[in-house]
Structure 1
Amino acid sequence: MDCLIIGYNDLDFGKVVAEVKSMGEDNVAFRDLNLNFIEIEGRPYRGQDILNKYFNASSQFSKRRFSNHDLLWPAIPPIATFLHNKGFSFDYINNFNIDKDLLRQKLLQEDILTIAITTTIYISDSPILEIISFIRQYNQKVKIVVGGPYMSKQTEEKDDITLQAFLKYLGADIYVFSKEGEFALFRIIQELKCAEDLDAIDNIGYLHHGKYVITSVKGEDNPLDKNPINYSLFPKEAIGEYINLKTSKSCPFECSFCAFPLRAERYVFTDEHWIREQLNAIRAVGTVKNVFFSDDTFNIPLTRFKSIMRMMIAEKYPFRWHCFYRCGNSDEEAIMLMKDAGCTGVFLGIESANDTILSIMNKKSRRNDYATAITLLRKHGILTFASIFVGFPGETYESYKDTMDFIEETAPDFCRPLVWYCDTTTPIWRDREKHGIKGNSFNWQHNTMNAREACDLMEESFMSLKSPTVYVPDPGFNFISIYYLLQRGFTVEQIKRYLTNFNNGVKAKMLFPGKREIPINLLDNIEKSCNLNITTKELDHDIIKAYAGEAYESALQYWLSKFKDYSFTSRLLSDPAEIFKPTEWDQLDFESDKLYDSNTVDRVMVLSTLLYSLSYLDGYSTISILIGSTEGVYFPIIIDINKSWSFDELKRKVSFELKQAKKNYLFCFHILANRYRLKKYGQQVPVIRYAFMECERQYQNTLTDIATSFPEINKNIGLTIIGRSTNDKDFSGLKFSYNAEILTSITKIKSLFTSTLEQVKANHNVKLSEIRYNRNNTGTEVLSSQQNLQKQFKF
């Protein structure tokens, strides 16, 4: 065999997560990845992994596994056809990680001259290394050739010394660096068969005496119309139901975020006759249900595009199709023709809806073009997927708000925000001094933003995105997955339902990172949404509503307003204590101290008394405390105590604040513990010094969870009070966890709390200004209540 072509290697996702996570959980690369998987029993699952775990449907639906790679890998047909036309034999492994056993058999039993490893969508070297290692394990003789987009990019980014080290690290025999590699691969096989020197081949690197010889660079052009795909070379079952078709090369635009302009590839497109022949060949296969036109600019020129649409309508092709679509080169006639020709949906590279940013991007389309196109596409029943960048040079909080406001106003069906990746091979890099660009990849900053701030905006977009627009995770589920699931029997409503519940599982992981498992009610919704026999009515809609974008925005406004201008420095606490590892304990027993009375002492009374006591001793009218509730959730409440209130008024205020805080607790610390998000709104992470845990049996787990999940909040807490429960309503006493250095303060707190509780039990309507203390209570001089309040409180 002259050449064995290897398609895609979908790495073990658990290893991918571990590798990216090892760079740090605050690293932008991990934060981006973290939006796209959930964890069950410690194992990460992507969108289609979960479908494979829980999918359950009637017999009319196929039971084969769900995968974006459930197709003939797109890089294989053009390479195979090219080699076949040159008279060379080929075979292929479509999916490395699925077909390892078959590959092992071929390596051991067949005489293979070369193995070609494609790198179409790789962004790291890990998949390549794994394939090469596997091949070497079973066959030392075969020549390994690595080519494709990932390899061509290396010569653009690396100097000679770095490139040599990288090629040796990968360990292949030969590399192809051209943008198009079919001809170079043909020449490699030709020379190897004749035992000739490889020097005569352009655009390659080959190992010679321990060093890679890099040959001359010369443009390679393999015209599409001269190399139509020969589908008869592949079994029908291998081709399956989904095919990619490219009708043009390169792009006529010069967007500053794209490397195409600097690569100077000429934009060329095939004619209608060639496209008809390819579509006829696809129809002749007899199995294809979906075609993806993968051209970057399928609808350019517009006259050609309309002509293609009319041809497809006349031919009455049985398959549906989708494509990338340019909104600036569109009109209603084109969209009507698309629908009649079988178009299901489009990918819209919106990038930004702020015209200033679009100008910096050198985009030809503007906000109005996108709005018009989305409106018309929806009118004619074509699904829309909006891709946007976060953090491009010039981006500000205001410009990105323009984009998200646009998404909310136009409501595309699906959306995916992406942190801008600083690629040094793109035109914007030439203007790096103008924009103050420093760093690259996901570690950058410029005049108006840095990568971590952009990442926070992306996460906020994920949290706040509202129905009917649904966030699409990637990797593991992306634009083409939508049409793949439609092909497999899902409806658009079922896809959106599933993604909404999957995304809620991701949100739970992000909101409570210290909890390793998804809440059971969320997991139940996820499992049910994988089942096509389940109706929407059978889902828990209260949970869906609780995690919705509207709930996030409501919580955002609530918590920002609550802690606006809040600042606090405790007189009682000098240094924070590690509350989950207490160094000292003290307690107060209501029954032995004759304070307990189930008819008069309830939870709100205890908490109100405690808040008043703490605020009195610390000298602040505004007091905040972290609550760990009996439901196992936690949140802060903040009370601005008014001296003219009666104690009953304070209780009503505390009760109201508890209810409001519980209503917004889900997103609480995702907002308040995030310095990047608060900076956007001109606020800082609040200093909360006290914690009150309502359930003694669960407090340890709750405190550990807070410490693990939100160190920015946990680090300031110096005193924890635990309410010892007698039933669901009352406490039998309090326990105190504190740093040994504040022992005197604990004595004051206990004494003041006891005195206050005695007085408010006797008279619930007593004015706060009328509560009196003596030296035994506070350890301070005797003052009248009015003098005390004037001195201690900062009204």
Structure 2
Amino acid sequence: MHDTKVTTDVMNPDCIVIGYNEIDFAEHARRKRAEKGKSGGYHDLLTNSVLLGGERRTYMDLLNIVRERTTGCPSRLSAFELPSLGVAYLTSFLRRRGFSAAPVNSFNSATEQLREMLAGSPRAVAITTTYYVYDEPIQQIVRFVREQNPDVPIIVGGPRIQNLCSDQSPESRDGRLRPLGADIYINSTQGEDTLAAVLAALRDKGGDLSRTPNLIYRDPAAPDGPMLHTLTTVENNDLDENAVDWSYFDPSYYAPTAYMRTSRSCSFGCAFCNYPALAGPLNLSDLSTIEKELRYLCDHGVRNLIFVDDTFNVPLPRFKKICRMMIENKFDLKWISFFRCSNADDEAFDLMAEAGCTAVFLGIESGDQRILKNMTKFAKTDRYEYGIRELTRRGIATLASIIVGFPGETEESVKNTVAFLNRTQPTFYNVMLYYHDVLAPIENQREKYGIVGSGYAWRHSTMSWQEATDWKDYLVRNVNGPALMPGYGLSLWTLPYLLANGMTMEETVEFIKGASRLVIKGLDTDYLDPEPEIEEILRGLAAVRDGAGQGASS
């Protein structure tokens, strides 16, 4: 397990940093189902899960069933066993500044550890919100903390808070934040420096937060009254100075599979994405910083790495330098990353393969050139096709991420995307229903595209969300060859974790193809006997293993 302590007294830390809370997926699906006539949210869930009997479950749930049938032993694989980069980064950041910080990597697997720490006298609890798109996981953690220690201040920050607060009046912000139940909210694109300032105020200033910027917090004198707002300032935390110092952690926390970041933000401006506007200009770590961190990780048992940079191969010359540096140092890492085919050449493909790249996430979004133009992708489908072919030729697995329903989408454009996937044959693909983010650049083109509504409940001049769900089903049923990979539970980012737990890439592909068949069978029903498909998956995996054994013996 990864929930080990840092080298500090974890019973009475200045801050407990709590990572991801994986809520019960079946229960979440039941609640989303009640909304299926109002928006496309439930339907998007259908192609990101499998139907086992009458319950919606994740691919990882299915994999654990398959592994138990194969081995006869319990299987409890979870992607959230991987070390949370957000938790590691904040813990390292605070320790560098003299605060004792205790990481709780996964709320679910470290409940008892957290209970023990809360029974002591922690100065504060900080909850990260990376990956959350709704509030329930945060609320569950807050309730647990309150039950164990009603007096400890609870601080919440990160992307979910930033999204809840964006373009809102103070009154609207209060209304959105208060149901979360915390005491202090950090509203900043970065926020780590603000967190350190909050801890300093709690320790040295009697809890007076009025001079700490970027805060929205409950008034201690009137906890049910209006929340207090402090001055907003822009943080600019240097990536080189604040790279994770892994020496604060026992290697069992991060080895053999870890996450790493070498940049912040994205230099592109896709019309559907608000991340560059929120994160600011692209900021890059120096090559020497990257080399130092990689060397430490490799020397302490890391063999699989997940680069989380949104555009790892941008700028291209820097990407090549990173690959050459990894090759020259003989780091012997297997790694995955985001990748832009439109920003690569043959030399880059060769270097990344030699440097140990095993898989890449490709933000293809559409196989129709007109839709790519609407999305401001600045990419050509022929370049995508070339990139997938060259990556595959070098043994690098590819995932093509697709959006259905973007403004301008038509029957023709969806069919062009299906033809593109069938022609290029990426290893995996995923498909998402278009989500209209009112903070993304596309919001400024409402009139142009006739956009009405937001989130998963929208329509525009060429399609409604209801029509888009039908076309999403059409795509899933008509793509032949690539395996449908979900965005939750078992995604491309779990491949290194699965490899570290004994699965081969061939076995993983075979399993995901079997799960894909279950997805299609579960699109039009609320109950499905999974046994025939589970048996088919078991036979397929056995055939893969037999083939591998015969290949080795020959």
Q: TM-score if structure 2 supplies the norm length?
A: 0.92
Contact 1:56 1:530 in 2 (8 A): no
Residue 188 of structure 2 is matched in structure 1 by 178
**How far apart in 2 are the matches of 1:320 and 1:475?**
22
* Residue 111 (structure 2) pairs with residue 100 (structure 1): yes
* Residue 515 (structure 2) pairs with residue 505 (structure 1): no
Contact 2:212 2:230 in 1 (8 A): yes
CA positional deviation for 1:157: 4.7
Give the aligned length: 531
* Residue 255 (structure 2) pairs with residue 240 (structure 1): yes
Q: Of residues 1, 13, 26 in structure 1, which corresponds to 2:25?
A: 13
Contact 2:65 2:75 in 1 (8 A): no
Letter in 1 for 2:313: N
Letter in 2 for 1:234: F
**How far apart in 2 are the matches of 1:251 and 1:174?**
29
- Map Cα deviations across residues 296-335 of structure 1 (whole Å, 9 max, x no partner): 1111111111111111111111220111111111100110
- Map Cα deviations across residues 246-287 of structure 1 (whole Å, 9 max, x no partner): 11111111211111343370111122111111101111222x
**How far apart in 1 are the matches of 2:250 and 2:37?**
45
Q: Of residues 190, 199, 216 in structure 1, which corresponds to 2:231?
A: 216
Residue 36 of structure 2 is matched in structure 1 by 24
Letter in 2 for 1:300: V
- Map Cα deviations across residues 128-178 of structure 1 (whole Å, 9 max, x no partner): 000001111111110000001100111115332221122221111100010
Q: Name the structure, 1 or 2, with higher relative contact order (CA <8 Å, separation 6+).
A: 2
Letter in 1 for 2:123: L
Contact 2:510 2:537 in 1 (8 A): no
CA positional deviation for 1:536: 7.8
**How far apart in 1 are the matches of 2:539 and 2:40?**
32
Contact 1:302 1:329 in 2 (8 A): yes
Contact 1:231 1:285 in 2 (8 A): no
CA positional deviation for 1:229: 0.9
1:454/1:535 CA distance change after superposition, 3 Å: farther
Q: Of residues 474, 489, 492 in structure 2, which corresponds to 1:479?
A: 492
CA positional deviation for 1:63: 7.1
Residue 389 of structure 1 is matched in structure 2 by 403
Contact 2:323 2:351 in 1 (8 A): yes
1:264/1:470 CA distance change after superposition, 3 Å: closer
Taking every aligned residue pair, what percent have the same amino acid on both sides? Answer: 34
Letter in 1 for 2:189: K
- Map Cα deviations across residues 466-522 of structure 1 (whole Å, 9 max, x no partner): 11x1110232211112332233222222212211222222222224x16x2326422
CA positional deviation for 1:381: 1.3
Q: Which moved more, 1:145-154 or 1:195-204?
A: 195-204
* Residue 59 (structure 2) pairs with residue 47 (structure 1): yes
Residue 203 of structure 1 is matched in structure 2 by 214
Letter in 2 for 1:289: R
1:125/1:506 CA distance change after superposition, 3 Å: same
Contact 1:242 1:291 in 2 (8 A): yes
Contact 2:514 2:533 in 1 (8 A): yes
- Map Cα deviations across residues 675-701 of structure 1 (whole Å, 9 max, x no partner): xxxxxxxxxxxxxxxxxxxxxxxxxxx
* Residue 341 (structure 2) pairs with residue 330 (structure 1): no
Question: What does 1:52-131 align with in structure 2 at a 5 Å threshold?
Answer: 52-56=64-68, 65-108=76-119, 110-131=120-141
Contact 2:260 2:308 in 1 (8 A): yes
CA positional deviation for 1:58: 8.4
**How far apart in 1 are the matches of 2:538 and 2:115?**
36
Contact 1:112 1:142 in 2 (8 A): yes
1:23/1:282 CA distance change after superposition, 3 Å: same
* Residue 293 (structure 2) pairs with residue 274 (structure 1): no
**How far apart in 1 are the matches of 2:191 and 2:99?**
16
Contact 1:58 1:533 in 2 (8 A): no
* Residue 386 (structure 2) pairs with residue 372 (structure 1): yes
1:527/1:517 CA distance change after superposition, 3 Å: farther
Contact 2:52 2:530 in 1 (8 A): no
- Map Cα deviations across residues 584-642 of structure 1 (whole Å, 9 max, x no partner): xxxxxxxxxxxxxxxxxxxxxxxxxxxxxxxxxxxxxxxxxxxxxxxxxxxxxxxxxxx
CA positional deviation for 1:236: 1.4
Contact 2:399 2:429 in 1 (8 A): yes
**How far apart in 1 are the matches of 2:54 and 2:438?**
37
**How far apart in 2 are the matches of 1:192 and 1:78?**
21
Question: What does 1:210-609 align with in structure 2 at a 5 Å threshold?
Answer: 210=223, 211-263=226-278, 265-286=280-301, 288-467=302-481, 469-511=482-524, 513=525, 516-518=527-529, 520-528=531-539, 535=546
CA positional deviation for 1:531: 6.4
RMSD: 2.1
Question: What does 1:153-168 align with in structure 2 at a 5 Å threshold?
Answer: 153-168=163-178
**How far apart in 1 are the matches of 2:273 and 2:124?**
33
Aligned-partner SS, 1:75:
helix
Q: Which moved more, 1:250-259 or 1:26-35?
A: 26-35
**How far apart in 2 are the matches of 1:528 and 1:189?**
55
Contact 2:409 2:462 in 1 (8 A): yes
**How far apart in 2 are the matches of 1:17 and 1:69?**
19
**How far apart in 2 are the matches of 1:123 and 1:11?**
12
Residue 139 of structure 1 is matched in structure 2 by 149
Q: TM-score if structure 1 supplies the norm length?
A: 0.64
CA positional deviation for 1:114: 0.4
1:235/1:430 CA distance change after superposition, 3 Å: same
Contact 2:162 2:188 in 1 (8 A): yes
- Map Cα deviations across residues 718-758 of structure 1 (whole Å, 9 max, x no partner): xxxxxxxxxxxxxxxxxxxxxxxxxxxxxxxxxxxxxxxxx
**How far apart in 1 are the matches of 2:125 and 2:375?**
40
**How far apart in 2 are the matches of 1:136 and 1:81?**
26
Contact 1:132 1:172 in 2 (8 A): yes
Q: Which moved more, 1:419-428 or 1:258-267?
A: 258-267
**How far apart in 2 are the matches of 1:87 and 1:264?**
27
**How far apart in 2 are the matches of 1:237 and 1:292?**
17
- Map Cα deviations across residues 328-361 of structure 1 (whole Å, 9 max, x no partner): 1110011001001111111110111222211121
- Map Cα deviations across residues 371-397 of structure 1 (whole Å, 9 max, x no partner): 111111112111111001111111111
Unaligned runs of 5+ in 1: 538-795
CA positional deviation for 1:535: 4.7
CA positional deviation for 1:528: 4.6
Contact 1:56 1:531 in 2 (8 A): no
1:157/1:52 CA distance change after superposition, 3 Å: farther
1:532/1:133 CA distance change after superposition, 3 Å: farther
Contact 2:266 2:310 in 1 (8 A): yes
**How far apart in 2 are the matches of 1:121 and 1:39?**
23
Contact 1:51 1:530 in 2 (8 A): no
